[in-house]
A and B are shown apart, each in its own frame.
Chain A
Amino acid sequence: MSAAVASLALVLLAQASSRPRYGGAAHIVLRDRVNTLDPLGEEDHPATRDRMNALIFENLTSMDAQGRLRSGLASSWRSDASKRVWQFHLRLAEFHDGSVLTAADAVASLQRSMGEWKITAIDRQTISIDATASAPHLPELLALPRFAIAKKTPENTLFGTGPYKFSEWQAGERLVLTANDDYWGGRPFPDSIEFQMGLPLRDQLLERQLGPYAAAELTVDQLRSIEQTNQNIMISRQSDLFAIVFLQGDDAAGRGRKPVDPRIREALANTVNRGAITSVILQKRAVAASGILPQWLTGYESLFPGNNSMDRAKELRSETAALVIVPPIALAYDASDPISKLLAERIALDAREAGIVVQPFGEAHVGNKQARSSLNAGAVLLRLPLAATEPSVALAARMDEMGLLPEHSALNLKADQPEQLFDLEGKALQTFRVIPIAHSSQAVWLSPATHNWQQSPTGSWQLDQFWVEGAR
């Protein structure tokens, strides 16, 4: 009998029950510091801002944890045959200031995000978007954080419609959100969520105790110590791209800083020891990258050449040096990210073997697209999140972020078939303005009291069913 009881205990694990419970305060630790919550504001760590904003603001559409398109503030949508003009019907929802969401609000918000579109209100609950060109994946595109629907008051206060409302905000330090009791999708389970930004977690990890937190973002170098203590860690697919992006395109010659010679760019691409980077610096939580999008997302990344021949690098460098003076490359990396620092130093070390001088330096605003353009650097080392699981949208977002597409022209990507995407990505890579280094995972530690935490394949968090044990 005791064996039977024991087997029951095994089957019905010693965890808490499956039905979500209301109440409690969740404390979440974020790696980076965020200075503005404006979805369109200039921000050094937009991916972290978007994590928090996902609880405050909503989009017309959303993607679920399995990468499927779901309705958001739009309850339904349809397009014309050319997929150029789309109509979205809004559900009944309220902004956090108590006002009802109308088509006029959605139009005003989307116009701030995408001025090139012709966006109009058809009636109080329906909007029309003329994308000016065929946009087969417009619903997926509208799920990107930059298309969040926000109501901006004349005093520049932003209101969202999401499951949580602002409560306290200290830029770069903490954000406290409280549950929106009137949320159209049902009040969220926790009473409040507090984000604490920029905590190094060094002391907590040394003590092997993350104590009061519900969840904490981890860097890959922190994983080993946590894993040894058999704690609950969620590791995403290899979604983040580390890449070197040269700030000046070849067409920028004569204007401002001189672009790095394309042969030197190609040579640099060949010097990078991706194997060492992925296995040592990124602790085998990454794979070498040859494309902008990872193999697991597209299935075709392996067709791009790996560019890992030191001989070829030396040859290109010699050829170039015979014709022009090869200046050093100033490589800026995110000063707040120790992994980026290690990566940049390793890149410089590998480049030296081919006679290329790379001078890495830490910069606070590398992640800020607008600020980046005025950096006194030839190239930047970027860590780019994967914005979507729809490859064409993900590619558009990454190319836009890297400055490989004109501002706000994500919809220039009409590519729908894998061949078209492969061609487009191949063209972007063949100029060597972007040198993919590695696709890396994201990791989050979860407390035993944290439940229903979901991570999408892109690494983004899906917290709609999230709850914590504590007060009811």
Chain B
Amino acid sequence: MWPFPDCQSAGFTVQLKPKHPQSSLMPKRLSALARCFLCLLVLSICAVAQENSAAAASATEFAQQIVARAGNPQSMSVSFQNISVLLPEMQESVQNAIFTAFRNANVRLVKPEQSTVQTEIIFSEDWQGYLWIADIQSGANKQMVMKKVPRPERAASAKAPVLTIRKNTVWQQDAQILDFYLDNQQLVLLEPTEIAIYAGDGGQWRPRYTLAIVHPESWPRDLRGRLIVNGSQLTAFLPGTRCTGSSSPPTLECRASDDPWQIDSSGLAGFFSPRRNFFTGILAGSSAGASVIPFFSGATWQSGDLKQWLFTGTDGRARFYQYDLSAPIAIFSGWGGNMAAIRSPCGSGTQLLMSSPNDSVRPDAVQAVEVLGREALPVSTPIELAGPVQAMWTAGKNSEFVNGVMLSPETGRYEAFTLNVSCGR
């Protein structure tokens, strides 16, 4: 059996992995489908239960306000009108909570002709949430009670988890995140004005230090940054600036610099424009001496004996190189600007995670792609994100993760997350 999600836990996080996968008697395919179905069922039940419970609490408070505003009458007639998108089952739940609250306040609910107090309750809404309105008529006296009720957040996407890309949220905050580093002991966030270091403590990240990034010039728009952590040593690359320091003891020193940024752990490095959001195309590290067109993201990987590179150019086209960087052997159009390579036990062993080519103010999607010959093939269905991707960098000791950052338009918060690829579909 699988652990059922706790309805009280934030975000309805569900563990999909069976505790004893080998002990399952179901065929593998059926087992996966059954898990999916069960998971969706549990998600739905939990979501509805939570929404109903929150709405019932608001309803009780609303009813109490109505009774107080109406002058604590002994009896009252109540009618309802729904001009919002409140679902019928939730409306019923709210109405029941209101009735209960009236009874608890010793208010008898009667027909309109039997009471001097008539209340019409209207379930309305504005663009951000519900507005519940009580129009109380007591003889010639008319009173209004209005209560704003937040609209419950939409439940997690009910898509079947056939994706081979898995996303794990690491951290969320209001301040912009440019890049981050994560291991079992620490979480290090690169922000425009500081490096924030958190230590693991009983499953929670607790702030330890913040190290200020001092720089004289204003940052370019669409600011990007790269954080490299090696033991306690910290290196942060920002446009025209390089910061070095350590997490223990906490120190950081920043200076104007055009040093190349380390793009991945395979040794690919490139010079970054000091006042823009792209790499100039002049490469360093293992590809030193070569130059390509200006690019947003780059990756290099080995396919057998063959070395390969892919760069997403600032002209919206991605260029694929094999063996050397003298000329691209394939050019792909319509790709997103964010891309990172990832190692996995699946397929050819290396996939490229690509963001979508949507405008960067719209929710993004990430898809795994493999380049075989001169063709790019999708090897996963896209994983949809709640916001636009701000950064994607290869991470992990063996490049088995991609660290990503996105900005949620709904909450206005930045989210650091990791992506990894698993073989099952």
Distance (whole angstroms) from the CB of B296 to the closest CB of chain A: 4
0 or 1 for each of A13-41: is its CB under 8 Å from B? (1 = yes)? 11111111110000000000000000000
Any chain A CB within 8 A of the CB of B48? Answer: no
Residues of B within 8 A of A417 (CB): 146
CB pair A18 B378 closer than 8 Å: no
Q: Interface residue count for A (Cβ, 8 Å)?
A: 57
Scan residues 382-409 of chain A and give those whose CB is less than 8 A from a CB of chain B: 389, 391
Any chain B CB within 8 A of the CB of A66? Answer: yes
0 or 1 for each of B403-422: is its CB under 8 Å from A? (1 = yes)? 00000011010000000000
A189-B221, A237-B127, A465-B361 are known contacts. Are A17 and B275 too (CB-CB below 8 A)? no
Any chain B CB within 8 A of the CB of A68? Answer: yes
A186-B222, A300-B133, A303-B133 are known contacts. Are A11 and B364 too (CB-CB below 8 A)? no
A19-B296, A298-B126 are known contacts. Are A12 and B357 too (CB-CB below 8 A)? yes
Complex Cα distance, B146 from A309, in Å, reads 28
| B360 partner, pick from A8, A19, A187, beta carbons under 8 A | A19
Of chain B, the residue at the smallest CB distance from A7 is: B378
CB pair B382 A11 closer than 8 Å: yes
Interface-lining segment among A78-86, A177-185, A332-340: A177-185
Residues of A within 8 A of B296 (CB): 17, 19
Q: Name 6 A/B residue pairs within 8 A (Cβ), A-sorted.
A: A16-B316, A19-B314, A183-B218, A300-B124, A418-B146, A451-B359
Complex Cα distance, B355 from A184, in Å, reads 29
Residues of A within 8 A of B277 (CB): 19-20, 22
Of chain A, the residue at the smallest CB distance from B358 is: A18
Interface-lining segment among B198-206, B240-248, B259-267, B331-339: B331-339
Scan residues 239-284 of chain B and give those whose CB is less than 8 A from a CB of chain A: 275-278
Residues of A within 8 A of B312 (CB): 17, 19
Any chain A CB within 8 A of the CB of B98? Answer: no
Distance (whole angstroms) from the CB of B87 to the closest CB of chain A: 17
CB pair B336 A18 closer than 8 Å: yes
Q: Interface residue count for B (Cβ, 8 Å)?
A: 60
Distance (whole angstroms) from the CB of B145 to the closest CB of chain A: 7
CB pair A8 B338 closer than 8 Å: no
Main secondary structure of the interface of A (DSSP, over half): loop
Interface set of A (CB-CB < 8 Å, partner B): 1, 4-5, 7-9, 11-22, 64-68, 181-189, 237, 295-300, 302-303, 389, 391, 417-419, 422-423, 451-454, 457, 464-465, 469, 472
A19-B337, A183-B218, A298-B131 are known contacts. Are A422 and B377 too (CB-CB below 8 A)? no
CB pair A16 B357 closer than 8 Å: yes
Q: Which among A8, A68, A417 has the greatest number of chain B C-beta atoms within 10 A?
A: A8
A13-B334, A20-B221 are known contacts. Are A469 and B145 too (CB-CB below 8 A)? no
The A-B contact count (CB < 8 A) is 161
CB pair A418 B316 closer than 8 Å: no
CB pair B360 A465 closer than 8 Å: yes
CB pair B146 A300 closer than 8 Å: yes
CB pair A418 B338 closer than 8 Å: no
Any chain A CB within 8 A of the CB of B144? Answer: yes
Q: Which among B221, B316, B333, B354 has the greatest number of chain A C-beta atoms within 10 A?
A: B221
| A13 partner, pick from B218, B337, B356, B388, beta carbons under 8 A | B356
Of chain A, the residue at the smallest CB distance from B125 is: A299
CB pair A12 B127 closer than 8 Å: no
CB pair A419 B218 closer than 8 Å: no
Any chain A CB within 8 A of the CB of B294? Answer: yes
CB pair B127 A187 closer than 8 Å: no
Of all A-B residue pairs in the complex, the 8 with the closest CB atoms, nearest first, are: A19-B337, A299-B131, A186-B221, A17-B337, A418-B146, A299-B126, A16-B316, A299-B124
Complex Cα distance, B355 from A4, in Å, reads 18
| A303 partner, pick from B127, B135, B355, B377, beta carbons under 8 A | B135
Of chain A, the residue at the smallest CB distance from B361 is: A452
Residues of A within 8 A of B375 (CB): 1, 5
CB pair B388 A18 closer than 8 Å: yes
CB pair A12 B356 closer than 8 Å: yes
CB pair B220 A186 closer than 8 Å: yes
